[in-house]
Structure 1
């Protein structure tokens, strides 16, 4: 009888006792290929000696120092390393313990920035439908996934949600990809005008949408236009790279591939690679200076921000990503994974789209390819596929509600950056077997 409050009360998950490379091992010795890195977390795989040794060494020196009194060497070093490689004029790093904390901090910083600037009327946040920014009240308010929001609706903040950039579903037959990207981006301009430009403080978006839609990349030019609109109206751009950042899409920061830089950027998951709970919010020098030259105090904080052991782990992880040339490998392996998925599923009657960047790939499942009609939600396709894959020793990330929070199903894949070609083949084979069990043979 467990006293742990699980994610789902009607299942008892196996007990994980070990990890080795891309595999997790349970108490009965069964090995699971971690095809989604948990939730796009385990970018270095399991059992990385350099990272675990860095954690042990830090514990021998210092476990904890509250940032209300002291900073620490690993926190300073990790902040320096992140800013050295960050896009644009991002200049300061605020460490937290995870993605929801990072996005929550970003929303609060955006608000305080405008208060410090003498524009307290700017309080409105714009985000996108089918986005996910975390599970705290502020982060959940920013997120646009109705399934996650529904029962908490009375508690949520008033956040505007515009259409996502979702080319597979939203691009018109007579539009080029670039034309669609421009049209999708201009929805932000329209919403700013509707709300009143002087009431809007920020726009928040994921460069590549993760959990809710399954590795949906932006259409060409979308984020360049978004950046232009933010600059035109003087509002802040917050990018949520909690899932898609830290090398997952093939560059350390996902937005690099779109040729833009945000005013505030959120990272987590791959920053600690699962070895410690850590996230971070990066902000521009202008935003930091507004606080520093104003009240001098960001009215926010948690007990474990800037934790020495967590930042030591993050420092070892980011150094590993950079020093081992893993970004180049993610690009190569990402292309190989896309090719393997297209080869195996490209003609499957129930696979509508195969998409993503780097080792961040999504497969959208449909009842009919021609019409793109989704399966009836009552069929529970995603849940059944997750179970079928798990029985076969594959951890992947199927989700339902892809289209609107209720309809649509997809599978998200985010394997460790260290995955070998043979292990990639094993991943695709096991996924194909699970798909065949749930949906039938693809021909």
Structure 2
């Protein structure tokens, strides 16, 4: 019987199907799916090495193979909310304590499983949402041969999202002092799930032939509702930069925030508060490769700390202002020009008709939106004209339409589009940049 049970567990693990009626198998699969490795950072080589966590055997597990998978997973799970050093020194008693917690969880079905977001792929497709340049805080995790899976931080919560067939499932790493319902509300808000893509796109396809042609291949490309402070510093890092380097900078900044856990060898931290960022020096940032952006970050922290209402509250208040006023306010911060301000407004301030115009969007506009501008050089005045043209065509959610058109031009997406929808790349145009503008996002 034991051999048959283990065979069934192995089979379900390969198919990654979490919907099992048997409580023990259901919980087992969920635990097996949690991280099973920890990383060691070598300050000399500046590289992380991965080593397995030693399994702690117990007599209360029927199958030895299951016991090993379970205990290694428990060790990784119990490393949440601890520093990497602490997690590497887990004691045998702590592993036993975690195992006892697991036994209780098996009976009352707590958080040791994946939950469904009850959202179809036409409303949320992870590969068209996270790695597209609107955030740099999510990492692709899980096996390369498995379904798409991303892990990231929202506030003080560590989530893993997985695309399973026509739905999205999520896993919560720890409670963070809140109930599951409260954490689910945080996730829904971040994913902007209160906005229906179906209703929005029905209008877009009626007014633009290019969008109508792309829509069948771009379903689920969703804009996020990020924390303004986090979004601000991400896009200061993005100035004249590429996604890989921006991601490294943002990861470094995030390391000054509270450690939340390790998944697939990657450390995850809550984004640091203004108080925590105040301790970061320009020298530290320059040594980490931030270049001229180091000065902008330090000065922006000082500017936010000087606000009478507090920096966080001041940024959140911009959600209640018209787009022009919120953009004007953002541009008073060091390192923030019109392009960066547009990104912050669109991705964190509920300004759904903000249009960030970089060289890519400029090329899209000349080809599909404002062909009369072909041959012109991008200037701040023409950038404003392009923004107005998008809003005139797509309305109050013009920023969402522009983002879909932008994503479709990324090399990763061009490769999966039919040949007749692919764009012939033109030579890069010369642009006149103000401080804080972004030349390229990919």
TM (norm. structure 1) is 0.27
Q: Which has the higher contact order (CA 8 A, sep 6+)?
A: 1
Q: Which one has the bigger strand percentage?
A: 1
Q: Which has more radius of gyration?
A: 2
TM (norm. structure 2) is 0.27
